[in-house]
Structure 1
Amino acid sequence: MANYTLEKKDRFNVLGLGTELLSDYTDSAGIAREKSEFWSAVAQDGRLDTLKAISTNDYIFAVNEAVNNKMMHYAGVITDESVPQESRVIEFPAGDYLVVRGEGSTAEELSHALTYAAFAEALPEVKDFIYVGGPNATVEMEQRDGRVVGEMWIPVVPA
């Protein structure tokens, strides 16, 4: 059973640096590999540090969004600033969100655990709300006792 709540959130934007995921949407191993390679690249080439430097808080967002019939994945932060690299402002609507909490030994492990808990456990349990698309995000919030702690935020609407 997933550790989740339903919460109201104000509208917010995330500035993201992204990549198109080319694996079939049913190929979870391929998608995981592409995401891992993307995060390694943005960490190694300094783009993630550039984002962190302009963030309004310590949260790091891993955003999934369908854009123009493409599966997109972004590394992002909340900020009012911009970066010299190609980026996208990802708009999250005000409203109800399914929020799943968790932790992992790495950010990648956290993301995998939260994604599974949210989509395979929590969403099927929630009877009064449904996910109808739009961006969703894993939010890396803090490091505690050598663990990465965070949440997954999925916008939902009344069923």
Structure 2
Amino acid sequence: MTNYSIEEKDSFSVLGIGTELKSHYTDFAGINKEKMDFWKAIKEDGTFETLKSVASNDYVFAVNEAVNNKMMYYAGVLAEKSMPEATRMIQFPQGEYVVVRGEAQTSEELSNMLTGIAFGQVLGEAKEVAYVGGPNATVEMGERNGLVFGEMWIPVVRK
């Protein structure tokens, strides 16, 4: 049994800078490459630092969301205000969330690992709830003992 919990969360909004993922939804290598290229680009051009400057805490969100039949991917933060570079204010509903915790060497490894565990194992094991769509996110929460730690948050409903 994979280590996960089901937690109640208040609604919240993530200010995001996004990109459309063009790879087929089953092409995990292609999707991961697109995500890594996106992060590299926004870190190199300073956009990510600008986004972090309006954050209300240190959490960094990597959000997956279907918008108008497109696979969208966002780098995001919890923020009280917007900024011109932002492409979307992503609304997460109040309710129950499957939460998977982990730690890894890098942000990318953490995100890939948590996503794989959550969608590859946990959602199949959590028989009392179902993911019915909506945004989901990996949340990088900090570093300890040389590792990046965080959680995957997936909104679910009771079956």
2:138 aligns to what? 138
Distance 1:118 1:139 in 2: 13
Distance (whole Å) between structure 2 residues aligned to residue 153 and residue 70 of structure 1 = 20
Paired position in structure 1 for 2:88: 88
Structure 2 residue 65 is matched with structure 1 residue 65: yes
| TM-score, structure 2 as length reference | 0.98
For the residue of structure 2 that corresponds to 1:26, the secondary structure is: coil
Contact 1:3 1:102 in 2 (8 A): no
- Structure 1 vs Structure 2: percent identity of aligned residues? 61
Cα-to-partner distance string for 1:20-61 (whole Å, 9 max, x where unaligned): 000000100000000000000111111111111111110000
AA at the equivalent of 1:59 = Y
Q: Verify: 1:151 aligned to 2:158, yes or no.
A: no
In the alignment, which residue of structure 2 is the partner of 1:76?
A: 76
The Cα of 1:2 is off from its aligned counterpart by 2.5
- State the partner residue of 2:105: 105
Aligned length: 159
Map of 2:10 onto structure 1: 10
Q: Does the residue aligned with 1:62 lie in a helix, a strand or coil?
A: strand
Shift of 1:86: 4.1
Paired amino acid for 2:128 = D
Instruction: Quote how far apart the aligned CAs of 1:112 are.
Output: 0.6
Q: Deviations over 1:51-76 (max 9, x none)?
A: 11111110000000000000000000
Structure 2 runs not aligned, ≥5 long: none
Distance (Å, rounded) in 1 between the aligned partners of 2:106 and 2:65: 23
Q: Give the Cα–Cα distance (whole angstroms) in 1 for the partners of residues 67 and 93 of structure 2.
A: 16
Q: Is the contact made by 2:140 and 2:150 (CA closer than 8 Å) also made in structure 1?
A: yes
Shift, 1:83, TM fit? 1.5
Q: Distance in 2 between matches of 1:60 and 1:70?
A: 23
Tell me which stretches of 4 or more aligned residues in structure 1 moved more than 6 Å.
none
Matched, 1:22 2:27: no
Q: Distance in 2 between matches of 1:70 and 1:86?
A: 18
Alignment of 1:44-63 (within 5 A): 44-63=44-63
Partner AA of 1:37 in structure 2: D
Q: Secondary structure at the match of 1:83?
A: coil
One-letter amino acid of the structure 1 residue matched with residue 80 of structure 2: D
